[in-house]
Chains A and B, each alone.
Chain A
């Protein structure tokens, strides 16, 4: 059936359409050109409403073991936000770390149609995919974590050549069904197992004599040479440590022009100036990002309130466990592969550090000039639950609202921040870049985040409202793969998105070394480690979409 969306004001940066009145035609799940002689079977009059592609969250912890520990750690947090079942929706719970069904519904109900889990431990990838398999409404995918796994560090220590590293990276992304490569506190999770409690960019892992800088360089090179479109996704060293801005600047310099995505950069942009020895590094980091076109970032904005931090970085989570609120926390060493740490957090606007963290995030949003290289995230649930995005969008688009909020936070933090002096307000088109076109481009998705002929019909329709929070929290319609799934901000049909993956070529002989390693040191057989396609598709809901590597034909 042909569907027509009539009279909407379209923001489609991928096709350079900026607020133009335009009809959209949908057939068989995709956007099509205006047909010559076919009448639409269904027409939606959306005259004057704002039309964008479905939004894409490129960094949100929605699937995987640590998230599930975070859920089970916080029953009191779920009790304040129960979600009843309906005829079409399953019951669930929020708040900080919602259950899988609730995650899917809530994302869709604010106009999102895809979300990416950024920390898939290869050994736990099966769980990540099973959890994401129970997240309805959204396309999904995962970045596979490397850099603290012993197999990789042994290769580094043995000075294996880049080709061998590339083969291992490619094998891992295929076996774990990933769409990108992530590194978390490069080598630091491993070093914590050897009782190192911190690790600077040029400090050796004491067992392997390998530095984080070397790891970043090696993995960023592998990602580039393999043609994986999403740049190496980097959770930097020294998360949360005052003065860590230097590690972040050094990391940018350290990758020597290779593509690199610095995630939740807010948590890595701290100076140590001022009476409290904690200051904003936003100006410095933004300047460096503006200058280095190989760098992209997402912000990891914090919002005030209760949340739970869930990270692969058990070294830093252990160091921060004293801030746990409520006072309970988990750290795990995992399978000679990685680790994780869960620390509940309550960010408070009258706490100097928290207040300044809030301001630093916003400063970075406003000082980074190129909207194609910065993305809207709260590092859900670490900075705040994803459900705070509409509020965040208002902060970016509405200077007077932002300044009103700024006036309410800890007075010393206000003084230490330049936020009040920044006039920039994001435009509608820029929001569409951050949350749609740019996110699709940087994750290497083909046919998503755009509203051109042939693109998948993932579409969100909003009613224009001066109050951007109200506007973005309740779309009139959301279409997923051409089907209307949300109406007036409520899910009206449950659908299941696809799982996005990439499969770069590699030399299969790496599997010989891996088999030996698995037989000797690991606790499962190599053949049982690899995730087959049918594990994702056999339930009849899931599907896999393989995206091309750079240079590969679609």
Chain B
């Protein structure tokens, strides 16, 4: 039995790297600094070790050959999930380039709201260490932060010491929209967050009014989305009077039509605060299931985030057209590769409609057995690797914790690519 300290997690998105893990053969136990997201994700046991074709165990080579057959004869292969580490994503991109595939990350429908904002008007953002050391006003828009990230407050707001705040417990926390589901946002000196509750559908109007107030535009209404305009005025005043305000949102949680416009309004109001002579930054939440990793690798290899295609031999990006769920609905895909190295519960959508290959974390259970299943190891448990944190700047070095013998995503996808090259010659 060995104990490994300072273990980084690829699961929580916030880059917790202080976990202590006990390894006994192939069994793992989180013994320090676990949470409701990380502990089950690390401790999940290995069930499958052999690839399967049509539900029968086969050798890796046989499974690769079948996968190549499916991908080669497809007119429009689509690759979904894309939930893996940097090397896994590199291998996925290489295969997709050869295969003329669509690449669509699992969280892109949410992330799209951020990318549309970035590509239309941009933003001013910050990262975790700046929050930890500077932030004196923290505004959460439309998201239940502790459900998203159980350790966020403990690690980045209620930290004992900070470089530029004498007392971190006096940080002001304000929620707009959703109500916090637990007590994590209560400060160590028992201050509760201010909550201005509204339904998601009213968020566009609420943040638009907040922006107008920041700009000093007159608002005639007294209430918006059930929130008193006077309360929003108070937030506007605070944002313009603090030292380093941070406004956070989770694009995935803003699940209503044209939510990108709400993200854009948030980003623009942050710019407005800065234009008024006070520093303020945005902080988009994400980083789960390898989504930042997929977008980063796809970004540097093609220039576009991870909803794009190689179907015409060149990289093409369209945040709407290459949504694979929509492509399935429209009958536009005829082979499906699902890559999910982190979460065995995340099985391919639309199972069974078209020939499907799954490169998935060992332990996946399917309602509809795919044509080919490769059980793979998990980055940061079964092999080393790299994953991006939610703030998109820090790539964490994932450790190998045990010898499971399971291949990595990159091992499997590279084997498929090499076999495909031979077939195409």
Question: Which A residues have a C-beta under 8 Å from some C-beta of B?
Answer: 63, 65, 67-69, 71-75, 78-79, 82-85, 90-93, 97-101, 121, 123-124, 126-127, 130-131, 134, 150, 154, 192-195, 207, 318, 324, 327-337, 342, 520-525, 527-528, 531-532, 535, 538-539
- Kindly provide the distance from the CB of B157 to the nearest chain A CB, expressed in whole angstroms: 12
Docked-complex contact A90 and B97, CB < 8 angstroms: yes
Docked-complex contact A85 and B122, CB < 8 angstroms: no
- Kindly provide the distance from the CB of B275 to the nearest chain A CB, expressed in whole angstroms: 10
Which of B198-206, B292-300, B322-330 is the interface stretch?
Answer: B292-300
Docked-complex contact B130 and A193, CB < 8 angstroms: yes
**Separation of A90 and B91 alpha carbons in the complex (Å):** 12
Contacts of B392 in A (CB 8 A): 65
Beyond the given pairs A84-B313, A101-B301, A134-B301, 12 more chain A to chain B contacts, judged by CB atoms under 8 angstroms and listed by A's residue number, are A68-B299, A78-B302, A84-B314, A90-B97, A91-B302, A91-B310, A99-B303, A124-B393, A331-B124, A521-B163, A532-B397, A539-B87
Docked-complex contact A85 and B302, CB < 8 angstroms: no
Contacts of B304 in A (CB 8 A): 71-72, 75, 78, 93
Contacts of A335 in B (CB 8 A): 127-130, 393-394
- Nearest 8 A/B pairs, CB to CB: A82-B314, A93-B303, A78-B303, A84-B313, A328-B122, A335-B129, A126-B395, A523-B128
Docked-complex contact A83 and B314, CB < 8 angstroms: yes
- Kindly provide the distance from the CB of B242 to the nearest chain A CB, expressed in whole angstroms: 11
Docked-complex contact A330 and B97, CB < 8 angstroms: no
**Separation of A523 and B278 alpha carbons in the complex (Å):** 25
Q: Number of contacts between A and B (CB, 8 Å)?
A: 194
Name A90's closest neighbour in chain B (CB-CB): B97
Docked-complex contact B162 and A524, CB < 8 angstroms: no
Q: List 10 A-B contacts (CB under 8 A).
A: A72-B303, A78-B315, A79-B317, A90-B97, A150-B133, A332-B125, A521-B132, A523-B127, A532-B397, A538-B384
**Separation of A245 and B301 alpha carbons in the complex (Å):** 38
Docked-complex contact B303 and A195, CB < 8 angstroms: no
Interface residues of B in 235-263 (CB under 8 A from A): 243-244
Docked-complex contact B97 and A91, CB < 8 angstroms: yes
**Separation of A190 and B18 alpha carbons in the complex (Å):** 27
Docked-complex contact B393 and A68, CB < 8 angstroms: no
Docked-complex contact A330 and B86, CB < 8 angstroms: no
Docked-complex contact B132 and A65, CB < 8 angstroms: no
Name B281's closest neighbour in chain A (CB-CB): A333
> Which of B118, B133, B279, B393 is in CB contact (< 8 Å) with A330?
B118
Docked-complex contact A195 and B122, CB < 8 angstroms: no
Name A93's closest neighbour in chain B (CB-CB): B303
Docked-complex contact A521 and B133, CB < 8 angstroms: yes
> Which of B127, B155, B300 is in CB contact (< 8 Å) with A131?
B300
Question: Which B residues have a C-beta under 8 Å from some C-beta of A?
Answer: 6, 8, 15, 17-18, 86-87, 90, 94, 97-98, 115, 118-130, 132-134, 155-156, 160-164, 243-244, 274, 277-279, 281, 295-296, 299-305, 310, 312-317, 384, 386, 392-397
Name A335's closest neighbour in chain B (CB-CB): B129
Docked-complex contact A85 and B397, CB < 8 angstroms: no
Contacts of B296 in A (CB 8 A): 68, 127
**Separation of A525 and B399 alpha carbons in the complex (Å):** 13
Contacts of B120 in A (CB 8 A): 328
Name B164's closest neighbour in chain A (CB-CB): A207
Contacts of B132 in A (CB 8 A): 521, 523
> Which of A92, A333, A342, A523 is in CB contact (< 8 Å) with B301?
A92
Docked-complex contact A100 and B301, CB < 8 angstroms: yes
Name B279's closest neighbour in chain A (CB-CB): A195
**Separation of A130 and B293 alpha carbons in the complex (Å):** 12
Docked-complex contact B396 and A524, CB < 8 angstroms: yes
Contacts of A194 in B (CB 8 A): 279
> Which of A99, A195, A327, A527 is in CB contact (< 8 Å) with B302?
A99
Docked-complex contact A523 and B279, CB < 8 angstroms: no
Contacts of B396 in A (CB 8 A): 524, 528
Contacts of B395 in A (CB 8 A): 124, 126-127, 130
**Separation of A161 and B9 alpha carbons in the complex (Å):** 38
Docked-complex contact B244 and A75, CB < 8 angstroms: no
Docked-complex contact A82 and B315, CB < 8 angstroms: yes
Docked-complex contact B314 and A330, CB < 8 angstroms: no
Docked-complex contact B295 and A72, CB < 8 angstroms: yes
> Which of B115, B161, B314 is in CB contact (< 8 Å) with A91?
B314
- Kindly provide the distance from the CB of A62 to the nearest chain B CB, expressed in whole angstroms: 10
- Kindly provide the distance from the CB of A206 to the nearest chain B CB, expressed in whole angstroms: 12
Q: A335-B127, A335-B394 are in contact. Are A68 and B313 (CB under 8 A)?
A: no
Docked-complex contact A65 and B393, CB < 8 angstroms: yes
**Separation of A92 and B127 alpha carbons in the complex (Å):** 29
Contacts of B312 in A (CB 8 A): 84
Docked-complex contact B17 and A528, CB < 8 angstroms: yes
Contacts of A90 in B (CB 8 A): 94, 97, 301
Docked-complex contact B393 and A73, CB < 8 angstroms: no
Q: A123-B394, A193-B279 are in contact. Are A337 and B115 (CB under 8 A)?
A: no
- Kindly provide the distance from the CB of A205 to the nearest chain B CB, expressed in whole angstroms: 13
Docked-complex contact B17 and A333, CB < 8 angstroms: no
**Separation of A337 and B129 alpha carbons in the complex (Å):** 9
